[in-house]
């Protein structure tokens, strides 16, 4: 298959099948509660539905010691069971490689615990905070940055002190932006989510709210009209979804995203660059174009964090820069995410870009474009005092005013 044929196949929308749940009714399949109840979360349930490699089977056996396994039926049906390198499969089914920790890896690679003034609240940037409101997700990504606290399988538990967090936010008037994350906030009940958002909206200096969620991808059935109605009450509110591969954008996912967009919610996407999953320009081009068709703007492409047991999924930084270089100029600017790396240990997001500046010299900068053509861009040439004075005199000249009025009257 050529790159163009691959691109064309990846940009098509398909529905998730019910191959392994053929006895489920349409009503059950479209009910997010049924989807949650029937998640694949054990080795037995997994092997009933597909043949595992030895590496996967060992990974599942060890999963309870680090990060639980859980796969919604909707997302499970996207797995190619004949292909051990299926990009959906590699994201969601544990492997034995997770048991090895590379020397550079960390339990808390983003240094969140050290920037937590109140349990559950991370205040690393001056004007915004991260509010961890749950430790559960519909499914668990094997590269999860917060695998130390989510799913309940690890040694560390997420503690949330709700009232202390709200009081901290009320006191710190510099905070204008609150991001709800976890775990996945959209896994909370409608009532609880509404209560949290309503309480935040009582704090005058908080200008807008954000939610980070993979629910629209793992569990599109959760994006109900009722949920969208609740979210719509709390504008300005933004949602960042998490999609890594175009295959994840099913017909059902597109419908859920359209419901949120129709509720006036700006949607962005955050991807993680992953080895043998989305580390090619063709896959990334298909992904960003498909996102735009779903009314979602590509926002960030993350270099995979240095989370324990993730080395088999991480790529080099050079790979990400090469992908951005191949997107720039070959698709609309709306479709190009910002490639970022989180500074290990708590440095925050650091933007990374290909080298478009070749040289800087006094009065000019030498640039290259996406075709490697070279251009010179000069710094502004200051207007000398004498010329500036003459221009100001001309601007206040009655003759100039008469001349302009005469021109305008001639065009009517």
Catalytic residue set: 124-125, 128, 137, 141, 144, 146, 305, 342, 349
* DSSP characters over 13-69: ------GGGTTS-HHHHT-HHHHHHT-B-SHHHHHTTSPPPHHHHHHHHHHTTTS--
SS3 355: coil
φ, ψ for residue 46 (rounded to 5)?
A: -70, -45
236 prior amide bond cis, ω within 30: yes
**CA of 74: how far to CAs of 116, 249, 277, 329, in Å?**
35, 11, 19, 35
Neighbours of 327 (CB within 10 A): 23
Q: Which residues pair with 295 in a beta bridge?
A: none
Cα–Cα nearest to 98, from 132, 138, 160, 140: 140
Q: CB of 181 within 8 A of CB of 130?
A: yes
CA separation for the pair 52, 128 (Å, rounded): 43
CA separation for the pair 36, 66 (Å, rounded): 21
């Amino acid at each position: 298959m050529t790159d163009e044929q691959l691109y064309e196949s990846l940009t098509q929308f398909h529905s998730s099948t019910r191959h392994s749940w053929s006895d489920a009714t349409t009503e059950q399949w479209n009910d997010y509660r049924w989807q949650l109840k029937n998640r694949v979360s054990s080795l037995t349930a997994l092997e009933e539905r597909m043949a595992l490699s030895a590496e996967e089977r060992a990974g599942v056996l060890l999963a309870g010691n680090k990060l639980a396994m859980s796969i919604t039926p909707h997302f499970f049906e996207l797995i190619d069971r004949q292909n051990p390198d299926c990009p959906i499969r590699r994201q969601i089914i544990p492997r034995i490689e997770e048991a090895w920790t590379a020397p550079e890896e960390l339990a808390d690679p983003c240094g969140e615990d050290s920037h937590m003034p109140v349990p559950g609240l991370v205040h690393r940037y001056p004007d915004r905070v991260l509010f961890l409101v749950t430790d559960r997700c519909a499914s668990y990504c094997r590269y999860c940055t917060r695998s130390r606290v989510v799913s309940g399988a690890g040694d560390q538990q997420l503690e949330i002190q709700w009232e202390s967090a709200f009081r901290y936010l009320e006191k710190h008037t510099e905070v204008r932006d609150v991001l709800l994350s976890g775990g996945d906030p959209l896994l909370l009940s409608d009532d609880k989510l509404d209560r949290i958002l309503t309480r935040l909206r009582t704090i005058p200096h908080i200008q807008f709210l954000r939610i980070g969620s993979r629910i629209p991808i793992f569990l599109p059935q959760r994006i109900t009209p009722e949920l969208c109605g609740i979210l719509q009450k709390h504008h300005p509110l933004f949602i960042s979804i998490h999609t890594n591969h175009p295959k994840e954008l099913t017909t059902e996912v597109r419908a859920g995203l359209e419901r949120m967009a129709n509720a006036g919610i700006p949607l962005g996407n955050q991807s993680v660059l992953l080895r043998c999953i989305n580390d090619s320009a063709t896959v990334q081009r298909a992904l960003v174009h498909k996102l735009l068709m779903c009314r979602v703007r590509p926002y960030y492409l993350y270099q995979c964090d240095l989370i324990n047991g993730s080395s088999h999924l991480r790529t080099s930084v050079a790979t990400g820069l090469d992908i951005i270089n191949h997107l720039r100029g070959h698709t609309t600017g709306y479709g190009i995410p910002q490639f970022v790396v989180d500074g290990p240990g708590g440095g925050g997001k650091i933007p990374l870009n290909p080298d478009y500046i070749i040289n800087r010299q006094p009065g000019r900068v030498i640039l290259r474009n996406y075709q490697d053509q070279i251009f010179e861009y000069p710094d502004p040439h200051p207007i000398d005092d004498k010329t500036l004075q003459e221009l100001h005199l001309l601007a206040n000249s009655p003759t100039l005013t008469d001349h302009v009025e005469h021109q305008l009257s001639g065009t009517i």
